[in-house]
Structure 1
Amino acid sequence: MSPYRLVFGKMSHLPVGVEHRAYWAVNEINMKPKACEDERKLQLQELEELSIESYESAMWYKEKTVLLHAKNLRVKELQAGQKVLLFQSRLKLVPGKLKSKWIGPYTIVGLQANGAVEIQGSASNSIPFLVNGHRVKVFRDNDENGRLAREKVHTDLEEVASWTQQHVHAARSGKLISSATPTSV
């Protein structure tokens, strides 16, 4: 069926010369119908093989991605008496960008089978209340780690300052020195 007939619903009548040339071109192309049929079958088979291969590749990629993400997940192991932070999920009309969304610390009083956690504030007269286990995270009070991190930042800042002073001094004296940045930056 010709495109003209598909669009307009009737056969197109070409001048005899043009119609004869079109008929001749169709016959010339389809001189060997069996060979054309076999070639088309091979093309379809190759296309199907490519489709199957891409599907298998996508499945392999998905499995690898799932395994990668599953490897990086950490299971929250909460215990009674442990200190936790609570995620503050109240609606705020004007949220502060630098305000922490985690409040606390709270102490876990009990754990429920459905994943709920009963927590109590740090004050002795505070009343315990239930929250969803997904809204809490373990509170880490590591003064040693905080001190080490502050010392590292301080030494990094000193290194950057000395590097900057060297370059400013070299620029003023007209010397050309290496433009490599400090190692910790």
Structure 2
Amino acid sequence: MDWEEATKLRLFQLNEMDEFRYQAYESAVLYKGDLVLLFNSRLKLQPGKLKSRWSGPFEVVGASPHWAIELKSGDGTRTFKVNEQRVKHYHGIVDGDRIVD
């Protein structure tokens, strides 16, 4: 493979990666203001038959272009960042300030 062709291929791959990151950031921004559930990966040692690995719901307050989502805790006192892959939309009913399952 000649150097010029290899350089063009690598530049194409880098541009493609930047475009993929931008699309991931745009999809993360869609979550903003929504309620999501957080996957708890630490429940590996016999969580029990009825114990759910999903906790929440949490409110999304921000997103970054590197697949990180900022969540607000249930009582609203603190915020924390998690990977976008660890959350999913919460489809429960919110009645004012009260969450109805």
Scaled by the length of structure 1, the TM-score of the pair is 0.33
Q: Secondary structure at the match of 2:30?
A: coil
After the TM superposition, which residues 92-107 of structure 1 pair with which residues of structure 2 at under 5 Å, given as runs?
A: 92-107=44-59
Cα distance between partner residues in 1 of 2:51 and 2:73:
20
Tell whether 2:65 aligns with 1:113. yes
Runs of 4+ deviating beyond 3 Å: 75-78
| Mapped contact 2:69–2:82 kept (Cα < 8 A) | yes
**How large is the Cα RMSD of the aligned pairs?**
2.2
Query: How has the CA–CA distance of structure 1 residues 112 and 83 changed in structure 2, closer, same or farther, with 3 Å as cutoff?
Result: same
Matched, 1:137 2:85: no
Secondary structure of the 1:134 match is helix
Richer in helix (by share): 1
8 Å contact from structure 2 (residues 68, 84) kept in 1: yes
1:76 and 1:111 map into 2 onto residues whose CA distance is 6
Runs of 5+ in structure 1 lacking a partner?
1-74, 144-185
TM-score (norm 2): 0.58
| Greater relative contact order (CA < 8 Å, ≥ 6 in sequence) | 2
Q: How many residues are matched?
A: 68
Per the TM alignment, residue 97 of structure 1 is displaced from its structure 2 partner at its CA by 1.7
Look up the SS of the partner of 1:117 in the other structure: strand
